[in-house]
Structures are given as structure tokens and as C-alpha cells.
Amino acid sequence: MMKQKIQKKIIKSLVWYFIVVAMITFLCYVPVEAKTKEVTGTRIINLKQKINGKEYYVGCAIDECDIHKGDIKYSEKPCSSGSDLQNIYVRKENKNKEIEWKTLRELKFTSMQGGCINPKKNVLLLAFVDKGKNKKGDLTALVEIDIKKNEVARVNIVKGASELNIDTLGHSNDFTYLNKRYYGAWYQENGKEDYSNRVGTIKDGLKGKGKVGELHNEKGAAVFGISVFDKKKEMFAMGIRKKVEGKLERSIATYKLKEGRKENKYLKQDKLITLKKNNDYNVPQCMEIHNKKIYLIKYFHKGKNTGKKIEKKVKYKNNIVEVYDFKGKLKKEYIIKNPVKTYYSKMYTTNNKIEYVKEDESLKQYKWEIESLIHYKKNTFYYTMYKPSGKKIGKQAYLYKVNLK
């Protein structure tokens, strides 16, 4: 009897053990949805720039502003709207070899591209292009901003790798920084579903064209993002879109440069992620890697197959950051809200005294695109918010920072 009781206890214990193990196993395999959080960035309102040796505030692009409504887009005192990135000035020679200052907007650099940060120097690099607007071939304006001083440090206008039948950085969607060099990944459309892809280096001083390598065995593909994957091995992660068996596939893979006598090639190492279709946010823009996580910017673009329900759902918040681990698992999502309003300075004269009053300008009705996401330090990221169209106030380009914990 005693022996039977002991056996029953052992059997009961084993049964409970297997039940507990089964429950733990089940819970471990239950899919956990990524946490979604809405965040609002902090706009870097005012930027300074030295023009002809004197420091000024970069002006706004709001037509109603009485401080910056004329041809001069800088001022000794800031206006209520703050600085529009397209009103950053470029020092250049005119036809008579005279020095003149023109804004990025005046020079038709109205398309924003990617960016990156040199963390040791606290310098943010942003790219603006004049693609399709310059008879001599597209150019890129590389703007360096000291983010400690909120000051434009330098603007250089550069060409791409013309010797490889690419005379433009203008189709670049992203930049990154490694070992004192800026790297840009870009593509040029040669015809229907035919692209040339290049990765080029620009030295820290933004001089020279640097080395250029072609993406190997990726015909018909286009690069939409680049970031450093492994600093020691000098390996990059790139976002690639291409058609596979007639269907558009977007993926992220690692690439490493192989230098050759005649040409350099970036060879694919490992495929990290095949991006799943997201109808709410259907266009990948750019990417960043921080703390062994991939931060992918996507936005909603209304196309033939996107309905009004989705458009209504993502109104005022049409940009998202998807955070993946290196195994391709979606860990978090950050929906970055659009700007709601801005201000402008309205001039009034009272008793022969000029007074500027702060007036509201609503931005809620517009769609915005995040063109670059750039990790700085800890959980701080910088990004640019761009409004590509709009009849009333025209194109707007703002600089923001946000904490993504």
C-alpha cells in the first residue's frame, strides 16, 4: 500500500510538471504584437548662418510673414515661424565670377534626401537635390549643421560619379557615416525597371568623389536606405526594392565592398529582413541602425489600391518608424505625428511704431514626409519633416529631434 501511494504521488507530480511545461511552452509561442506608440518631435525652431561674415537667423517660408516675405530670407532677429531648411544660403560665383548668396530654394534644391551625423563633431549632414531642374545634370547640396550651436557650418554643392555614367547623387535616399567618411547610396533610373545603383564615399571635408562600388547581381533593384551594420568589418545594411517573379519585394540585407582592378562591387552577405506589406504605411523611405536594431521610416502614399478608410485613419500621422531586430522580428512601432500649426510675424504700425505680432498658421490639412532619420546619442534621433506640396503655403522643410525609447 505504501509503495502504491508513493507511485501515485510521483505520477501526479509528473502530470503537473508536464502541464506546467506545456503551458510555459504555449505562452512562449503565442505571437506578441509589436507595441505601437505615438510620439511628437521637438522642432529645432531657429538656425543661424554666417553670411558675408555676419551671423543671421535663417528665415521662414510662410508668405504671410512680414519679416521674410521679400527676397531676403534671413534676418538679425528670428521670426515667429522659425527657420525653413530650404532658406539656407549657398555661397557661389555668378557668371561674372562675382560672389553671391542664394537660398537652396532659389537654386532649385527643393527635393530633400537623406542625412547622417558625425557624432564626434556634432555635425549633422543633410542632402538637398535639384533633380530634373538643372540642364547640366542633377547636383546635390550637402548642408552641414552644428547641432550643438544650431548653426549652419558649411554648404557644398557636389556631383556624383560621372565617370560611371552617374552624374548625380540626386536619387540618393539615404546617407551614413563611417570612419571619417560620409557614404551615400543612390540609384539612377535608366529605363523601365532598370536602375544603376552606386555606393560612394565623400571624405570628411566633402572633397573628391571617393570610391564608388556597384551593387553586384541586383539588376532591376533600387536602394532606398543605407546604414552601418558592422563598424569593424566596414559592412553596411541596405534597403533594396526589386521585383521578384513579377511582385515588388522590399528587403534589407548586408553588403560588403570588394575592391577590384577595374571596378568595385558591393557583395550581398546576408539577407536580414523581407519587409511585410503594410497597407497603412506602404512606402519605405530611409533607415538607421542603433543598438542592434533597424529603424525603418515608412509613410502612407495614396495609390491605386489604397482606399479612403486607410487615408482617413492615418490622417495627421502618416509617418511611422518600424523597429526590427536583426532576425527580422518587429519589436516596436513609433507613429510620428505631423506638425499641427506654425506661426508667422505680422507687422502692425501703432503711433508710428512698428510692432510684430505672432499669428497662427494651421498645418493640419497637409501631408508630410519624413525624409531622414538619424541617430545621435542614447535615444535621441534627428529627422527632417518635409511638406512636398500645397497651394497656400508651398513647400516646407523643418528639422526635428525626438526621443525613441
CB-CB contact of 376 with 34 (8 Å): no
The most confident of 9-23, 253-267, 325-339, by mean pLDDT = 325-339
Q: What is the pLDDT of residue 299?
A: 87
How large is the average pLDDT for residues 52-75?
Answer: 93
Mean pLDDT of 42-64: 95
pLDDT in tens, 248-268: 888 999 999 888 887 778 888
pLDDT of residue 281: 84
Q: Quick one: pLDDT band at residue 186, thresholds 50, 70, 90?
A: low
Report the SS3 class of residue 312: helix
Supply the range of the domain harboring residue 121. 33-403
**Which pLDDT band holds residue 277 (cuts at 50, 70, 90)?**
confident
> Do 301 and 287 touch, CB atoms closer than 8 A?
no
Residue 10 lies in a domain: no
Any domain includes 98:
yes
Confidence of residue 207 (pLDDT cuts 50, 70, 90): very low
Q: What is the DSSP letter of 107?
A: T
- Burial-class residue 389 by CB neighbours within 10 Å (0-12, 13-18, 19+): exposed
Q: What is the predicted pLDDT for the residue at 140? A: 76
24 assigned to some structural domain: no
| Inside any domain, residue 28 | no
Who's near 258: CB < 8 A, 6+ residues apart?
Answer: 213, 216, 264, 265, 266, 267
Write b or e for each residue in 265-290: b if 16 or more Cβ atoms lie within 10 A of its Cβ, otherwise e: bbeebeebbebeeeebbbbbbbbbbb
What is the structure's pLDDT at 46? 96
pTM, 2 dp: 0.84
C-alpha cell at 138: 542633377
Distances in Å between the Cα of 377 and the Cα atoms of 148, 180, 225 are 12, 17, 20
Question: Which amino acid, 24?
Answer: I
Q: Residue 15: inside a domain, yes or no?
A: no
When comparing pLDDT for 365 and 187, which is higher? 365
pLDDT tens digits, residue range 349-380?
988 888 999 999 888 888 899 989 999 999 99
| Distance in angstroms between the alpha carbons of the first and the last residue of the chain | 62
Residue 304 lies in a domain: yes
Whether residue 214 has pLDDT greater than 60: yes
Pair 107, 141: CB distance under 8 Å: yes
pLDDT higher than threshold 90 for residue 3: no
Q: What is the CATH number of the domain that holds 41?
A: 2.115.10
CB 303 within 8 A of CB 282: yes
Residue 9 in any domain: the answer is no
- Report the C-alpha gap between 322 and 327 in whole angstroms: 14
70 burial (CB, 10 Å; 0-12 / 13-18 / 19+) is exposed
- For residue 140, CA distances in Å to 137, 170, 297, 352 come to 10, 6, 22, 46
pLDDT, residue 170, reads 39
Are 105 and 89 contacting, i.e. CB atoms less than 8 angstroms apart?
no
Cβ neighbours of residue 246 under 8 Å, at least 6 residues apart?
A: none
pLDDT tens-digit profile of 108-156? 888 888 889 998 899 999 988 776 666 555 677 889 999 999 999 999 8
Residue 194: its pLDDT value, please?
54
pLDDT score, position 136: 57
Query: Is residue 228 within 8 Å of residue 176, measured between CB atoms?
Result: yes
What is the average pLDDT across 176-185? 82
CB under 8 A, 24+ apart: contacts of 305-314: 306/279, 306/282, 310/279, 310/280, 313/280, 314/280, 314/281
| Lowest-confidence region among 52-56, 98-102, 246-250, 262-266 | 262-266
| pLDDT for residue 158 | 72
**Higher pLDDT, residue 346 or 133:** 346
Rounded average pLDDT over 78-92: 94
Q: Which amino acid would we find at residue 375?
A: H
Average pLDDT, the chain: 81
pLDDT (0 to 100) of residue 31: 46
Count of domains forming the chain: 1
Least confident of 164-173, 195-204, 384-393: 164-173
Sort 26 into a burial class: Cβ within 10 Å, 0-12 / 13-18 / 19+.
exposed
Chain Cα centroid distance, residue 263:
29
167 located within any domain = yes
What local confidence, expressed as pLDDT, does residue 295 receive? 96
Provide the grid cell at 62: 510662410
pLDDT score of 188 more than 70: no
Q: Which residues are CB-contacts of 315 (< 8 A; sequence separation ≥ 6)? A: none
Give the residue with greater pLDDT, 24 vs 342. 342
Kindly state the DSSP code that residue 218 receives in the 8-state scheme: -
User: What residue type is 221 in one-letter code?
Assistant: A
pLDDT, position 7? 60
What's the rounded mean pLDDT across residues 48-70?
94
Q: Report, as an integer, the average pLDDT of 221-245.
A: 88
Instruction: Return all residues near 348 (Cβ < 8 A) that are at least 6 apart.
Output: 354, 355, 356, 357
pLDDT of 306-315, one tens digit each? 556 666 777 7
Asked whether 162 and 155 are in contact (CB, 8 A), the reply is no
